[in-house]
Structure 1
Amino acid sequence: MAAFMHSAPCWVDVQLPDLEAGKRFYGELFGWTFRAGEEVERGGPCVDALSGGKLVAALAAKKDGRMPTAWGIYFATDDIAATVTTIRQAGGQVITEPVRVGSAGVLAQAADPGGAVFGLWQAGDRSGFHKQNEPGSFCWTEVYTRQKDRVDAFYEQVFGFRGTDLGAAGMGEPGMGESGTREPGTGGSGTTEAGTDAPGPAGSGTGEPRTGEPGRGESETPGSETPGSGPVGSGIGGSGADASGVDFRMWSPAGTEPGPDTAIGGRSVITDAFPAEMPSYFLTYFAVADCDATAETGVHLGGRVSVPPFDIPYGRMAVLHDNQGAEFAVLQPPVSR
């Protein structure tokens, strides 16, 4: 089994009030199929999502209605106990202590100093998703915060991220280079050497209520500003503080040359233009073949578009909410020249 690089995004899952409604929405939107997933102790029902037979995500039924309806991101770690200790030392909060998910691996959940929640995954039999940077699969993540200095220092200490301000990085395509979010040894395919039959965490992060996660109401819609001027759209769609007033930093894993070719995610700033009660959060991006068609389909399926499709240096993107309020972004990569 090939493991993900330490600190690389390796899994995403979503907490939903109605699991069957979620399957219908994402099944038609992304063409996903589903199979039963493993439940964490005290967890609710969950299903693995597959794209072209390859594991890409999980959907889980919320056991507690107070839990947010939201997508969650997980970062790979070689030593989850040590990472949890470092999180505390760096000023973060541990929400879910490490818990074993059968033979699949071990998970934990934490929040950074600004309150944004993320997961940790130490692989056992399961490494994570088997497809990324292809239509219907994960391609990017970024955190939105008001405490950029504390948050930058936090992720540099916890994961060893090396930051690059986008305005100083040129116009390379973050996360799409040979050493970006793709797993080492995959030849850029985004799939693991273990093949398509070894599932990832299978919704493992959805078993325990995220009691420490700031709830995000469905009406809280970051990105309602002009694209590139607010939180949403100021990430891979931005061009750095020097060029546009947008403050965005890309993250590259430790041991790599920081820059767009090695970036695995990023950090943007929630400006004063948004309500003070808006919490920090991670936004998950999925690659799609046609951004406009995906946005139209999302609305047809009962979702809504909070940021309509627009062009960025890295393709064409939009921000949507599913039919139960969970927010996510879609990105159509640029046509190869």
Structure 2
Amino acid sequence: MAVQPEGTPCWADAMFSDVEGAKSFYGDVLGWTFGEASSEYGNYTQAYVDGKAVAAVVPPMPGQEGQSQWCLYFASPDAAATARKIRDNGGEVLMEPMQVGEFGTMCLAREPSGAVFGVWQAGTHEGFEATGVPGAYCWAEVFTREPEKADAFFTAVFGYRAKQIQDDAVDFRIFNLGGDSVLGRMRMTDDFPPEVPPYINVYFTVADCDDAVAKATKHGGVLRFGPMDSPFGRFAALSDPQGANFSVIDITATQGEMPQTEDVS
């Protein structure tokens, strides 16, 4: 796999106080198997689908206990340079670029409207070894109450071109990199309780959305939205038993016409 263009979503991980519980939940819902915990790197444990790395789970470091959440990482050829761009455009660097052995260099940041994300400069670990197949990452959306701040930030830092969905009922934007759509942005409505902070919602592909929802709720997950048909696939939004939000989507079950978009770059 070649090094991906800067701004490409390339990896996802999450901290869980109950790692074994998370492994059991996602193993059943998404079919993940897990590698050995890497004690040298805080018991970081990779998840696999058909032998290909698709995500990771890790226990919180001392003092970092709290709400579990998925963190999406964006590829960068130079994490230090990306960190400077993050600061220059009103973002906050939460963790300075840090080399992780031979695997690569990571950085954690918060964009101006409040969503946390990661930056990954690949070494031997280039990121997702599979995407768009059952159990693997497929898509992500920034959920924010201040879309103007998020829009300006992401286009400035990663050079995205933006298209706005032409729909009066929803404020949704798609960010493109080259010819590829790589990230969505959704304005959070009053349907979201005020205590829910802005976040990046990660979508994992499943073979059957309704089956994945049934497994998730059986194992203590909470259905937040859906299942719903769309031109992109049948999807549902969930929270896992430890509170981390994510979505599942069957990209083969598409219905309806693709929405009209307007170039707003």
- Residue in structure 2 matched with residue 2 of structure 1 by the alignment: 2
Which residue, out of 158, 162, 176, partners 1:252? 176
Corresponding residue for 1:271? 189
Partner residue in 1 for 2:98: 99
Matches within 5 A, 1:7-18: 7-18=7-18
Deviation string 1:129-151 (CA, Å, 9 cap, x unpaired) is 10001110000001011221121
Distance 1:28 1:280 in 2: 28
1:318 aligns with 2:236: yes
Equivalence map 1:51-90=2 (5 Å): 51-63=49-61, 64=63, 66-90=65-89
Q: Secondary structure at the match of 1:312?
A: coil
CA RMSD of superposed structures (Å)? 1.8
Determine the C-alpha separation between the residues in 1 that align with 2:229 and 2:185: 20
Q: Structure 1 residues 108, 326: CA separation in 2 closer, same or farther (over 3 Å shift)?
A: same
CA contact (8 A) 2:231 2:254 kept: no
Match of 1:287 among 205, 220, 231: 205
The aligned runs of 1:141-160 (5 Å cut-off) are 141-160=140-159
Task: Please say which of residues 46-55 and 144-153 is displaced more in the overlay.
Answer: 144-153
Cα distance in 1, alignment partners of residues 195 and 241 from structure 2: 24
String of CA shifts for 1:137-194, please: whole Å, max 9, x gaps.
Answer: 0000010112211211111110001100122xxxxxxxxxxxxxxxxxxxxxxxxxxx
Q: Counterparts of 1:309 and 1:328 in 2: how far apart (Å)?
A: 13
Query: Would you say 1:309 and 2:227 are equivalent positions?
Result: yes
Distance 1:322 1:276, change over 3 A: closer
Q: Which residue pairs with 2:44 in the alignment? A: 46
1:65 Cα shift? 5.5
Distance 1:296 1:74 in 2: 29
What is residue 20 of structure 1 aligned with on the other side?
20
TM-score by length of 1: 0.72
Deviations 1:197-239 (A, max 9, x none): xxxxxxxxxxxxxxxxxxxxxxxxxxxxxxxxxxxxxxxxxxx
CA distance in 2, matches of 1:65, 1:150: 27
Residue 121 of structure 1 deviates from its aligned partner by: 0.1
- Structure 2 segments unaligned to the other structure (5+ residues): 256-265
Structure 2 length as normaliser, TM-score? 0.91
CA distance in 2, matches of 1:163, 1:306: 27
For residue 273 of structure 1, report the CA deviation from its aligned partner. 4.7
SS at match of 1:129: coil
Using the alignment, how far apart are the partners of 2:129 and 2:156 within structure 1? 28
Q: Which secondary structure state, in structure 2, belongs to the residue aligned with residue 264 of structure 1? A: strand
Change (3 A) 1:76 1:126: same
Q: Deviations over 1:266-321 (max 9, x none)?
A: 11111245444431110000010100000001111221211131111111000111
Higher relative contact order (Cα pairs below 8 Å, separated by 6+ residues): 1
Q: Secondary structure at the match of 2:35?
A: strand
Question: Which letter maps to 1:251?
Answer: F
User: Is this contact kept in 2: 1:17–1:65, CA < 8 A?
Assistant: no
> In 1, distance between residues paired with 2:122 and 2:187?
31
Structure 2 CA distance for partners of 1:320 and 1:94, relative to 1, 3 Å = same
% identity of equivalent residues: 41
Q: SS of 2:181's equivalent?
A: coil
Q: SS where residue 210 of structure 2 aligns?
A: helix
Q: Distance in 1 between matches of 2:199 and 2:84?
A: 22
Offset of 1:336 from its aligned partner? Answer: 7.9
The CA distance in 1 between the partners of 2:183 and 2:245, in whole Å, is 17
Note if contact 2:230-2:254 (Cα within 8 Å) is conserved in structure 1. no
* In the alignment, structure 1 residue 299 sits paired with structure 2 residue 217: yes
One-letter code of the match for 1:161?
Y
Aligned length: 254
Aligned to 2:153, what secondary structure does the other structure show?
Answer: helix
